[in-house]
A = this chain, B = another copy of it.
Amino acid sequence: MSRALSESERCAWLRLARTENVGPVTFRELVRRYGSAVEAIAALPELARRGGRSGVRIPSEAEIERELAAGEALGARLVAAGEPAFPAALAATDPPPPVLWLRGNAEALARPAVAVVGARVASAAGQRFARGLAAELGQAGLVVVSGLARGIDAAAHEGALPTGTVAVLAGGVDDVYPTENRGLYARICETGCVVSENEPGRAATARDFPRRNRIISGLARAVVVVEAEMRSGSLITARLAAEQGREVLAVPGSPLDPRAKGANDLIRQGAAICEGADDVLRALEGLGALREPEAAAFGGEPAQAGAEADAALRERLAALLSPTPVARDELVRATGAAAPAVFAALVELALAGRAELLPGGLASTG
């Protein structure tokens, strides 16, 4: 829609975003189908009941007012996906987070950004490299995005402090972890920006991190992995970046250092080698304009009626789902039903906690 929301629209948007079992995919499906968050909220109880559950916990308006007040008390600002102030690169992800809390200098989000991420238990050399790389990227006019973790993340933020850096938190915008990074956090708030999709005051849990990592890569045109062991969060961020069409770079290291294993493995898989800022700048030259978010991603005309899912289809879908994510297109083929009916049924199952709708067109059990 690309217009600022009214106060009441913003309140409904946030209520829907905070509703139990509503993730970014379900959120977007509901807003697409009902044309607005207000209409979607009105439909929720019936949808959840059809999915097989007596109801769904929608936060009260008072709860939402409390979240808005808590954010304001921090001097933070709420931006909804689709609003002009929502970062363009993140808006182009599929789907974007429904809302972001921003603390600090929101202007940092308007400039092109590069993510620098890596190991928490990083070598001194790796931290030195990350700090120097971030400083050079900053001098080249880029904003450096990272996750405020120990090690590489902290070093990257430090290097880019003079030019602007964005920290994406897994908990609320005020959930500083580790505590040793409190000073760094305060300095980022002064010159850069802290970002979270969660409500202020919330402490991060394990399942917040993949969504946080998706925002890190989503804000950035390129992701640089400095040191990463196999199966680390940094590699997940790199995978998400590739899915989002962003450039992935990795800093090579000795095979004798286990922290180099993940980055070397990325290079094997086609990531560009990063030995300095020049490599990042070269990778960005090759990158076309980011795909603009579809105009119809949010709002616009409500989807056609006739997308009512019948109970039999819903139960067949529930039986087809497993913890292993499967493409929704595959579910369409497996059931032989029309795609809109399948999507509608999946949203109902998601609201009932019986399905999880994942980015990339995937679904699994909830």
Contacts and interface: CB of A to CB of B under 8 A. Distances in A.
Interface string A253-296: 11110001100100110000111100000000000000000000
A129 interface: yes
Contacts of A128: 256
Contacts of A255: 129, 251-252, 274-276
A252 B275 contact: no
A252 B275 CA distance: 11
A206 interface: no
Contact of A254 (B254, B267, B268): B254
A125 interface: yes
Contacts of A253: 252-254
Interface in A217-276: 251-256, 260-261, 264, 267-268, 273-276
A252 B276 contact: no
A129 B256 contact: yes
Contact of A125 (B256, B267, B275): B256
From A129, A261, A264, A274, residue with most partner B Cβ within 10 Å: A264
Contacts of A275: 255, 261, 264
B254 A251 contact: yes
Give the bracket for the number of chain A residues in contact with chain B.
10 to 19
Contacts of A261: 275
From A255, A273, A274, residue with most partner B Cβ within 10 Å: A255
A260 B256 contact: no
From A251, A252, A274, A276, residue with most partner B Cβ within 10 Å: A252
Contacts of A252: 252-255, 260, 264, 267
B254 A125 contact: yes
Interface in A108-145: 125-126, 128-129
A253 B123 CA distance: 14
From A125, A256, A276, residue with most partner B Cβ within 10 Å: A256
A131 to B, nearest CB: 12
A244 to B, nearest CB: 24
Nearest to A263: B252
A53 to B, nearest CB: 50
Contact of A273 (B126, B267, B274, B276): B267
29 contacts: A125-B254, A125-B256, A126-B254, A128-B256, A129-B254, A129-B255, A129-B256, A251-B254, A251-B255, A252-B252, A252-B253, A252-B254, A252-B255, A252-B260, A252-B264, A252-B267, A253-B253, A253-B254, A254-B254, A254-B260, A255-B274, A255-B275, A255-B276, A261-B275, A264-B273, A264-B275, A267-B267, A267-B273, A268-B273
Interface of A: 125-126, 128-129, 251-256, 260-261, 264, 267-268, 273-276
Given A252-B254, A255-B275, 4 more contacts: A129-B256, A252-B264, A253-B253, A267-B267
The 9 closest A-B pairs by CB, nearest first: A252-B252, A255-B275, A253-B254, A125-B256, A268-B273, A252-B264, A129-B256, A264-B273, A125-B254
